[in-house]
């Protein structure tokens, strides 16, 4: 990952043009972190103080040196550990908004791929989706238009079947949302996917704001088109800014979570950007990555 997380914090007001700040290094795992990791991680982080939490699944190394990021990254990747350098002054309640992508972030599937499965075109559509999320297809509008066109003539009941039979929340999603709400944060689900799913999730999870694309349906059939402005990377970023303005907060007081290249501009607007089980281009640009633990890993950072 880059040094995105090391920019001047809106909250801490630390300026470190000559030397980096001392930060906390938070290590997380799905399972209790083995004692054998403690000594090498402490040495790599150049930390003198360690704390364990959450039944040993979280290790906090206080006074860590963020310049050791490359070595920490290599070690944690090898041992399937998630890590993040976090300003010790930060509290979750310092933020006012958590903005999330939907497909492969808040939920485990790509809805358009699953819809396409009902007309026998999942492999073709999924290949376009994957290339777009990796950043290999630069024009998201063109990518979405191509994929939606392949759905022309499909009975709209397929949308309900995808929601009922295939859509699953990502691990830790409900815990993360509950923790964010308890800390006073509002929630925004902004997706290059479809309103059929974002509106159902809004009602189900009590989300505050949503934005997505609308599939055109005529006589109970998909027309192969979307109506209105396509929610691409620029619209996602603008939606985050507009939501923050509506809440009366600076975008630096937002957290943005995503997995694909069309999330990058939104994530760049936020004070904290989180790549969740993301494509390499997103992990590289984000402030931190959660590659192994669930979305509730966000809460343990603070």
Residue 177 and residue 262: Cα distance in Å, rounded?
22
Query: Who contacts 280 (Cβ-Cβ below 8 Å, separation ≥6)?
Result: 134
Catalytic, out of 65, 82, 87, 101: 101
> Which residue ranges make up each domain of the chain?
1-90
Q: What is the mean pLDDT of residues 140-160?
A: 94
101 is catalytic: yes
Tell which residue, 42, 58, 76, has the closest CA to residue 302: 58
Give the model confidence (pLDDT) of 155-176 as tens digits. 999 999 999 999 999 999 999 9
Q: Are 292 and 30 in contact (CB under 8 A)?
A: yes
Q: Give 6's pLDDT tier (boundaries 50, 70, 90).
A: very low
**Global pTM value:** 0.89
Give the model confidence (pLDDT) of 224-240 as tens digits. 999 999 999 999 999 99
pLDDT at 63 over 70: yes
- In the sheet that holds 97-100, the strands lie side by side as 221-227, 209-218, 186-194, 97-100, 254-258, 272-276, 288-290
71 is catalytic: no
CATH code matching the domain that covers 1-90, chosen among 3.30.420, 3.30.2450, 3.30.70, 1.25.40:
3.30.70
Catalytic, out of 82, 87, 94, 103: 103
pLDDT at 298 over 70: yes
The pLDDT, as a whole number, for residue 21 is 65
Look up residue 204 and give its DSSP letter: H
Q: Give 135's pLDDT tier (boundaries 50, 70, 90).
A: confident
């Amino acid at each position: 990952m880059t040094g995105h997380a090391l920019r001047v914090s809106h909250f801490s007001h630390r300026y470190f043009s000559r030397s980096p700040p001392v930060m906390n290094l938070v290590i997380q795992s799905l399972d209790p972190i083995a004692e054998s990791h403690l000594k090498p991680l402490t040495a790599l982080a150049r930390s003198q103080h360690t704390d364990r939490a959450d039944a040993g699944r979280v290790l906090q190394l206080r006074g860590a040196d963020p310049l050791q990021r490359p070595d920490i990254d290599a070690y944690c990747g090898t041992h399937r550990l998630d890590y993040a350098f976090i300003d010790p002054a930060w509290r979750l309640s310092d933020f006012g908004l958590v903005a999330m992508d939907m497909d492969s972030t808040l939920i485990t599937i790509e809805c358009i791929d699953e819809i396409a499965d009902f007309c026998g075109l999942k492999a073709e559509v999924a290949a376009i989706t994957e290339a777009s999320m990796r950043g290999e297809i630069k024009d998201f509008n063109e990518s979405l238009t191509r994929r939606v066109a392949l759905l022309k003539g499909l009975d709209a009941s397929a949308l309900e079947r995808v929601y009922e039979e295939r859509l699953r929340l990502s691990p830790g999603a409900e815990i993360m949302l509950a923790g964010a709400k308890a800390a006073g944060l509002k929630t925004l689900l902004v997706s290059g996917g479809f309103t059929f799913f974002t509106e159902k999730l809004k009602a189900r999870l009590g989300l505050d704001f949503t934005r997505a694309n609308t599939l055109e349906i005529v006589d109970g059939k998909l027309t192969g088109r979307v109506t209105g402005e396509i929610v691409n990377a620029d619209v996602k970023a603008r939606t985050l800014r507009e939501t923050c303005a509506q809440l009366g907060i600076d975008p630096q007081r937002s957290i943005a979570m995503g997995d694909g290249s069309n999330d990058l501009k939104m994530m760049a607007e936020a004070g904290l950007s989180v790549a969740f089980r993301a494509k390499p281009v997103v992990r590289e640009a984000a402030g931190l990555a959660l590659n192994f633990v669930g979305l509730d890993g966000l809460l343990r950072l603070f």
